[in-house]
Structure 1
Amino acid sequence: MQFFQIDDTPADIVKTFPKASDLFKKERIDFCCGGDKPLRETLEKRQIDGEMLLHALNESYKDWKDAGNIETDWNKVSSSELIDHILERHHYYLQQELEPLSQFVTKIFRVHGQNHPHLKDLHKVYHEFKAEIEAHLIEEENELFPLVRQYEETQDLADAARIQELNKNMEQEHQVAGDLLREMHTITNGFVPPEGACNSYRITYARLAELETNTFEHIHLENNILFKK
């Protein structure tokens, strides 16, 4: 019997089995911004073999469970605990990574841009993403997260209404960030450096791939778990 079914949503699958995000990322299946639609819709739209994907997904999940892995069920922790995890795992990472990665993106554009014109587009889109996500982090840390912590204590309905309003804004900003990441993925051919690329080129692409993975995990935790609490 298969644990995951064709009408499950990618978001719910990743809640149960976080490593499913690796398979979804490989197949370019959205599990964060648009992850609340049945898997069937995405598979039909993308003409992906659903039977093969579900088999791989369920086999991977079985192996993962048989190995004794235990993953935190974020649905069962408090909002404050989830916020702490998001700050430590995702906000801190972005705050430490965005500026150094900006320097790498700029460097390879300056050195290789004449021969690789796509690097001009990468430079532009990366810095759009950087500006968007930096402003987004500030808004979450200064307004949304403190308000959620306050609501846990007070259960004030006015706070709840304001949180719902902020959540809608955050989801819209997540969509923008996700679209920019997908654009960078396309520009870089899936973050695969060209043949003969120098070390700086390869490091830049590897760090962009890590940025994509971390940020999609970040958006998933907020859109599909925190905001739904």
Structure 2
Amino acid sequence: MNATIENILNVTLLEPRQKHPTIFVRFDELNEGESLIIHNDHDPKPLYYQLIGERGNIFSWEYLEEGPEWWKVKISKRNLGEKEETLGEIAVKDLRKAEVFKKYGIDFCCGGKKTVKEACAEKGLDVTKIEQELKLADKSLTSRPIPYTEWSLDFLCDYIVNTHHSYVKQSLPDLVTYATKVEGVHSPQHPELHKIKSLVDEINAELTAHMMKEEIVLFPYIKELVSAKKNEQVLHASHFGTVQNPINMMEMEHEIVGKNLEEIRRLSNNYTLPADSCASYSLLYKMLDEFENDLHLHIHLENNILFPKAVELEQN
């Protein structure tokens, strides 16, 4: 009980000029893995940024209570050997948290190697708010997430082809058709449709060639890797060297398509329909929105699960 009391600091009892210095002293006294809970009568968010600036990324910050009378924050000192998770790693562990990333336009698939703090800094987002929503996602009541990480890599390859490649192949012709049609009718009033049509054409060309390379070269090689390990056979050398080489190319192409879709979302003001839009205009934006959402999961499965596991399998 005494240890718990010692780790609670009511800063409202301190003189204003003593608040932050006292918190810093108490934080510095913490051992790795220990926590300090501060009580305040307003949001102590400025303290978060001061801690980051003066101590670095060596702590976690969790709101236990957020007003209106009390703000209680648990500040925990990280273990020095503890590596901060990336966006991709967070999404791999619990895909529900990807909904938080999507809500704020944070790229967890192509940009999955960044940390939450890095992504928020780039987009000017409130990192404390997003980290709190990620913690709340743990408590959300949803159906059991699909166990992508538990699947064998050969099964995951087939799933990606049969689910996501199939969807892309079915959707691209319609996207090109409606982008062309809407541009032809509405571009005099909405010139951004010229660029949207051009970006859709680029996405069509890029993904068509991209999926072919995956289905003919990369995925069959990953399946051979799985089979060789399972049957304790020697894998024949590939013409591209290690699996990391085609993976590097696939990830680069993912980023190109991801940036094109991000630009379409910006040009369309998050797919907001103008007052003079028609049914085709509405359908185009609806299809683009759905296509982008599917592609986020599609790329997440490859960049954050399939590819790292294939590299690890080949090396072991």
Q: Give the TM-score of the pair, scaled to structure 2.
A: 0.67
Residue among 117, 140, 143 paired with 2:217:
143
Cα deviations by residue, 1:66-93 (Å, 9 ceiling, x for unpaired): x4x2123322221011112211221000
Match of 1:185 in 2: 265
| Distance apart, 1:157 and its partner CA | 6.7
* Greater length-normalized contact order (CA 8 Å, ≥ 6 residues apart): 1
What is the root-mean-square deviation of aligned Cα atoms in Å?
2.1
Is 2:178–2:280's contact at 8 Å kept on the other side of the alignment?
A: yes
| Larger displacement relative to structure 2 (120-129 or 9-18) | 9-18
Partner SS, residue 34 of structure 1 = coil
Q: Are 1:223 and 2:303 counterparts? A: yes
User: Whole-Å Cα distance in 1 between the matches of residues 85 and 128 of structure 2?
Assistant: 14
Q: Which has the higher helix share?
A: 1
User: Whole-Å Cα distance in 1 between the matches of residues 177 and 237 of structure 2?
Assistant: 43
Match of 1:209 in 2: 289
Partner SS, residue 56 of structure 1 = helix
Letter in 1 for 2:237: A
| Larger displacement relative to structure 2 (197-206 or 127-136) | 197-206
Letter in 2 for 1:55: Q
Is 1:113–1:119's contact at 8 Å kept on the other side of the alignment?
A: yes
User: Whole-Å Cα distance in 1 between the matches of residues 126 and 212 of structure 2?
Assistant: 41
User: Whole-Å Cα distance in 2 between the matches of residues 161 and 75 of structure 1?
Assistant: 26
Match of 2:168 in 1: 94
Structure 1 unmatched ranges of 5 or more? none
Q: Which structure has the greater CA radius of gyration?
A: 2
Once superposed, which parts of structure 1, at least 4 consecutive aligned residues long, lie more than 3 Å away?
159-162
| Distance apart, 1:106 and its partner CA | 0.7
User: Whole-Å Cα distance in 2 between the matches of residues 202 and 19 of structure 1?
Assistant: 28
Q: Which has the higher strand share?
A: 2
Identical amino acids, percent of aligned pairs: 33
Match of 1:103 in 2: 177
Q: Give the TM-score of the pair, scaled to structure 1.
A: 0.90
User: 1:73-92, aligned counterparts within 5 Å?
Assistant: 73-92=147-166
| Distance apart, 1:162 and its partner CA | 3.7
Match of 1:119 in 2: 193
Structure 2 unmatched ranges of 5 or more? 1-60, 63-77, 79-83, 230-234, 310-316
Residue among 158, 162, 167 paired with 2:237:
158
